[in-house]
Amino acid sequence: MKKKSTSSKSKTDFARLDKMKDEDIDLSDAPEITPEMFAKAIVRRGLRPRTKTQLTLRVDSDVLEWYKKHGRGYQKKSICCYTLTCRNIKDSRQSLV
C-alpha cells in the first residue's frame, strides 16, 4: 500500500525567483544579522550532541574501488550512504536481515 503525501504541492513561482537579483528581494521585515548575533548562535540537532566513533570496517574490494574511483572524499561519501541507508531502514521499520 502506497503512503499518501501529507504535504501540499508548492505554489511558489520558482522560475520568477530564479530571475530575481539580490537587490530585488525585500528584506524590510527581516533584521540584519550582525557578527554578534552569529557569535551567540547555537545550532541544535535534537537534544543530544552527535558524537563520532572510530571504526574499522571490512568492505568488499569492488565496493571500495567504486568509491575510490569517484575521487577525493570517498570515505565521507561511503559513510553518508551508510547513514542514509540506516535511516531509511529505521524510517520504514524494516530489519537489516
What does the domain layout of the chain look like in residue ranges?
53-97
Give the pLDDT confidence score for residue 49 in this predicted structure.
67
Q: What is the largest CA-CA distance in the chain?
A: 56
Query: Rounded CA gap, 73 and 80, in Å?
Result: 11
Query: Rounded CA gap, 65 and 51, in Å?
Result: 28
Give the pLDDT confidence score for residue 10 in this predicted structure.
84
The pLDDT tens digits of the residues spanning 14-69 come to 999 899 998 888 888 888 888 888 888 877 766 676 788 888 889 999 999 998 99
Write down the pTM of the prediction.
Answer: 0.39
